[in-house]
Amino acid sequence: MSALDNRLFAKMNGIGNEIVVVDLRDQPAPVTPADARAVAAHVPYDQLMLLQPARLPGTEAFVRIYNNDGSESGACGNGMRCVARQMFAGTDKSGLTFETRAGLLNCWRGPADGLYTVDMGEPKFGWQDIPLAEEFRDTRGIELQIGPIDAPILHTPSVVSMGNPHAVFWVDDIEAYDLGRFGPLLENHPVFPERANITLAHIVDRQHITMRTWERGAGLTKACGSAACATAVSAARLKRTERTVEMTLPGGRLTIAWRDSDNHVLMTGGAEFEFEGRFDPALFAVARASTTA
Which of 47/52 has CB closer to ligand LBFN2T5F?
47
User: Does the annotation place 7 within a ligand binding site?
Assistant: no
What single DSSP character describes residue 151? S
User: Does the annotation place 261 within a ligand binding site?
Assistant: no
Which of 103/147 has CB closer to ligand LBFN2T5F?
103
From 82, 107, 224, 229, the catalytic residue = 224
User: Does the annotation place 158 within a ligand binding site?
Assistant: no
Q: What minimum distance in Å lies between the beta carbon of 257 and ligand LBFN2T5F? A: 16
Which of 117/164 has CB closer to ligand LBFN2T5F?
164
Q: Are 164 and 134 in contact (CB under 8 A)?
A: no
User: Does the annotation place 194 within a ligand binding site?
Assistant: no
User: Does the annotation place 90 within a ligand binding site?
Assistant: no
What are the start-end ranges of the E strands in 1-74? 8-14, 17-23, 47-52, 62-67, 72-73
Residues whose CB falls within 8 Å of the CB of residue 157, separated by 6 or more in sequence, listed in order: 141, 142, 144, 167, 168, 169, 170
Q: What minimum distance in Å lies between the beta carbon of 183 and ligand LBFN2T5F? A: 11
Sign of the CA dihedral running 51, 53, 56, 59: positive
- How many residues in total does the chain contain? 293
Q: Are 202 and 211 in contact (CB under 8 A)?
A: yes
3-state secondary structure 60-74: CCEEEEEECCCCEEC
Cα separation, 163 vs 120, in Å, equals 8
Distances (CA, A) of 246 to 68, 149, 231, 267: 28, 34, 11, 10
Instruction: Establish whether 229 is a catalytic residue.
Output: no
Which of 174/228 has CB closer to ligand LBFN2T5F?
228
State the residues that interact with ligand LBFN2T5F by CB under 6 A: 17, 46-47, 67, 73, 75-79, 164, 197, 215-218, 221, 224-226
Binding residues for substrate: 17, 47, 67, 77-78, 164, 197, 215-216, 225-226
Which residues are catalytic, by number?
A: 76, 224
